[in-house]
Amino acid sequence: MPCVRLPLAICLCLAFAQAQAGVIISGTRQIYAEPRREITVRVSNDDQQAARLVQVWMDVGNAQLTAEHSDVPFSISPPVFRLDPGKSQAIRLAYTQEPLPDDKESLFWLNVLEVPPQTRSPPASADEERQNQLRFAFRIRTKVFFRPRGLSGNSQDAPEQLTWTLRTGKQAALRVFNPSPFHVTFHEVAVVMGEQVIATDQQGMVAPFASLDLALPPLMQVVPADARVQFQYIDDFGGFSAPRWAPL
């Protein structure tokens, strides 16, 4: 019996069970240091059976923008390509020299969209074949940090410069201020008060010269003098740091 005659819930379950992403990208983040003319990102097709059509573009943080509406100071080559089974493709990102802040990093997002091939089905009428086909497009988004030349300090020292403050009560939050010109991305953040460990509700990333509020469950009104922050951050290579401690 064709899937279109099954209950909707069953059709959706079957579709999601069969949908598999085949394209993978090298690295969870890319660092573009300004002296470089371009950087290379490698995309691979992990599916050994089927080719993929891949489209690549960048945006400034709006995940809803399509490639046609993206406006960033980078050129991408190639922007669209076929990726055969088990093969890889190098994508070149080149800065077009349009003005960007020279006193801090700028954040962009690299989008890699893959469309799986059209599956073959037994002979059927054109209308029935169109109804029976379910194809899923998978998208990977990864951060691209543009790092202008001449920034003071380095990204490895930025986490140690963070300052933390705690707001208690019903709308409890942990505020972190970043005085450095580098982004700091968190893997885990928690408030430690004696034996009690209170994790934040989200991981988050704090931008250069900016603050970020991390939500907390309601806390006691009086914070012990020995309360501390424990956090892990993600480094330039996508690895997790050892736990760090900071006073409140």
Domain positions in the chain: 23-147, 158-247
Query: Is pLDDT at 32 greater than 50 in this prediction?
Result: yes
Q: What average pLDDT score do residues 132-150 get?
A: 83
pLDDT recorded at residue 163: 97
The pLDDT tens digits for 171-221 are: 888 999 999 999 999 999 999 988 888 888 777 999 999 999 998 887 766
pLDDT recorded at residue 136: 67
Q: What average pLDDT score do residues 127-146 get?
A: 73
How far, in Å, CA of 162 to CA of 158, rounded?
7
pLDDT recorded at residue 137: 78
pTM of the model: 0.83
158-247: which CATH topology? Answer: Immunoglobulin-like (2.60.40)
The pLDDT tens digits for 235-247 are: 999 999 999 999 9
Q: Could you say which architecture CATH assigns to the domain 23-147? A: Sandwich (2.60)
How far, in Å, CA of 171 to CA of 149, rounded?
40
User: Which residues, 6+ apart, have CB-to-CB distance to 218 below 8 Å?
Assistant: 169, 170, 172
Instruction: Answer whether 23-147 and 158-247 agree in fold.
Output: yes
